[in-house]
Amino acid sequence: MDDHFSRIYRERAEAYDRMVAAEDCDGRLRPAIDSICPLRGARIAEAGVGTGRLPRLFVQAGARTIVGVDASPAMLELARRHLAAEAPPGSGCQWRLEVGDASHLPTPDGSVELAIAGWVFGHMTHWHPGQWRESVSAAVAELQRVAARGGRQIVIETLGTGTEVAAPPNDALAEYYRYLETALGFERREIRTDYQFESPEAAAEACGFFFGEALVTRILKSRWARVPEWTGLWWRVR
């Protein structure tokens, strides 16, 4: 597995972290998650923590414990740095981040109120094109395993960057999203999570390495300092 995104996660974690720091400029993601699963006092397990974007929200919301994995040591290094600043020892939130993947979350059966995966399972549609359904089902089963009875499982994915209408960015993701809803019993919620930059030029520079030249052209032509972004939350109850 050595595609565009895996190389970014492995080699350009700092640039990725700067980009996602500009997303959700109106702060809609945390309330949306909290409305599905109250975060204060919650025990949380996350597959694909990246540079710690979601764990930081969980700490700010008063989560009790956070356990997470990511396949990229470079991403985890940044996540640990951010969480050490956000939740130092004695802060009231215990956290542990490990190198790993979605097939194994290092926490016992039924041990968390929230099992979550942010912007990770969708990659399986091109990392495992012939068997992505099996890979997604196994990853979702791991969320199911660690969730307590009555706990929530949430899968977060993109519904479009640089567009005013929420929609899957490609046919493979559209099929995956239908699979979550029809085969795996998830409900969907859509929220707007725009990026905000200082200028269109800053937006183009920050987004280009990840999204490509087509988005750069759209940003500069439209003079967007605020880049439209849609996010989907798929959720179900254990």
Cβ neighbour number for residue 171 with a 10 Å cutoff: 9
Contact assessment for residue 183 and residue 195, using Cβ atoms and an 8 Å cutoff: no
Q: Which residues contact 54 (CB under 8 A, 6 or more apart)?
A: 33, 46, 116, 118, 156
CA distance 166 to 218: 17
The count of residues in the chain is: 238
Position 51 scores a pLDDT of 97
Confidence (pLDDT) at 134: 97
pLDDT of residue 70: 97
* pLDDT value at residue 55: 97
pLDDT at 3: 84
Give the architecture (CATH level 2) of 4-197+229-237: 3-Layer(aba) Sandwich (3.40)
Q: 3-class SS at 99? A: strand
pLDDT of residue 2: 63
Residue 89 pLDDT: 85
Cβ atoms of residues 115 and 146 within 8 Å: yes
- Residue 1's pLDDT is 54
* Nearest-angstrom CA–CA distance, 198 and 139: 38
Residue by residue, pLDDT tens for the chain (238 residues) are: 568 999 999 999 999 999 999 999 999 999 999 999 999 999 999 999 999 999 999 999 999 999 999 999 999 999 999 999 999 888 889 999 999 999 999 999 999 999 999 999 999 999 999 999 999 999 999 999 999 999 999 999 999 999 999 999 999 999 999 999 999 999 999 999 999 999 999 999 999 999 999 999 999 999 999 999 999 999 999 9
Which sequence spans correspond to the domains of the chain?
4-197+229-237
